Copies of this chain bind each other. A is one copy, B any other.
Amino acid sequence: MSGKLPGGRRQPTIHEVAATAGVSIGTVSRVASESPRVAPETRARVLAAMAELGYQPNAAARAMRTNQTMTIGFLIPDMTNQVFARVAQGAETVLAPEGYMLFAFSSNRSPAREIEFLQAARQRQMDGLIVTLSDETATGTIEEIARMGVPVVVLDREIPVEADVVYSEHMQPIETVVEQLLQLGHRRIGLITASHNIRPGRDRVVGFKRALAKAGVPIDEWLIRARTQSAERGMAETHDLLTGPNPPTAILAAGSDIFYGALKAVRLLGLSIPDDISFVGADDALLGELVYPPITVIDRDMVEVGRQAAGLLLDRLKGLDGPPRRIMLGSDVLLRGSIAAPKRR
């Protein structure tokens, strides 16, 4: 097996199938494309030849003719975050029955990698994209999306592109939680969430401030930490808040990674929930349930987000024209024993 090409062992082509089946390549093509105009007996012979040779049509050649690849790209900021993985799972359930393959690419929250993915998707002529950007202010990414030429569905971001979007509700659940905490007597509440550069971060801060304002509680910017979304960050911010001069009596860890880190910081400080500190997490209902006491969590159905996004994409793939559509999905507040009245000091 010398002289092997870069692509590895040569794969059988339509010509070889035609030869072994004793027909022309046109007929093989018709069988491969499930065209009806083939005699049953011929079709059987061709199918047999295909099976014998292990023939798979060359997607590149096919794409070149049809301008279709039956491939959908899914851009996620972080593969190891279950929140995004669930979206992929949901999208897959809608796309697979239509014959599309969904391939996921993780940018590790790097706008540069996001651009590389978008270019790769364009080169590969992917038929459509579902994207979650890590920074709405990165103009390069947005320009690339505009150039795509195929339908793109954007998840939970506000960017100046003509694209369908699936949003999650972020303000209202935060408001609900903050109102609860205020009612219990909390006056100093810490919020740790994603950066202002993405919609979830902004909206959570807005909801947070709105609830405080409604109750006439002054806003202390020191208590609001809207930065990178990671466990490390969640831990650091929580530690900083709780060891500061005038610490909060409740922590809102809005984001799954932040949730993990914040909870870890609370553990490390040896604080007890909810006696020493009230605690609210997000996006990982299961973790909230497994720890003791169970933790109040702001939860979303990310699988449904994926299904909806795939649905919007499919419509476009089927030729739907018209202005961008927006879908807003709700969030739930799962109230559990991690919040209580603050300790009198």
Contact = CB atoms under 8 A, between A and B. Distances in A.
Interface string A174-211: 00000000000000000000000000000000000000
Given A58-B123, A89-B80, A105-B104, A290 B289 contact: no
Given A260-B290, A289-B264, A292-B291, A85 B80 contact: yes
A148 interface: yes
A120 interface: yes
Nearest to A92: B106
A38 interface: no
A51 to B, nearest CB: 11
A7 B67 CA distance: 5
Interface stretch (A8-16, A19-27, A213-221, A222-230): A8-16
A60 B125 CA distance: 8
Given A101-B120, A103-B104, A260-B286, A151 B8 contact: yes
A71 B103 CA distance: 11
- Can you tell how many copies of this chain the complex includes? 2
A147 interface: yes
A6 interface: yes
Range class of the A interface residue count: 35 or more
A103 B88 CA distance: 13
20 contacts: A7-B66, A7-B125, A7-B127, A7-B150, A8-B149, A11-B122, A58-B64, A59-B60, A61-B64, A73-B103, A79-B79, A79-B85, A89-B108, A92-B108, A101-B117, A101-B120, A102-B105, A104-B104, A260-B286, A292-B292
The 7 nearest A-B residue pairs measured at CB: A7-B67, A9-B149, A103-B103, A8-B150, A59-B123, A60-B60, A60-B63
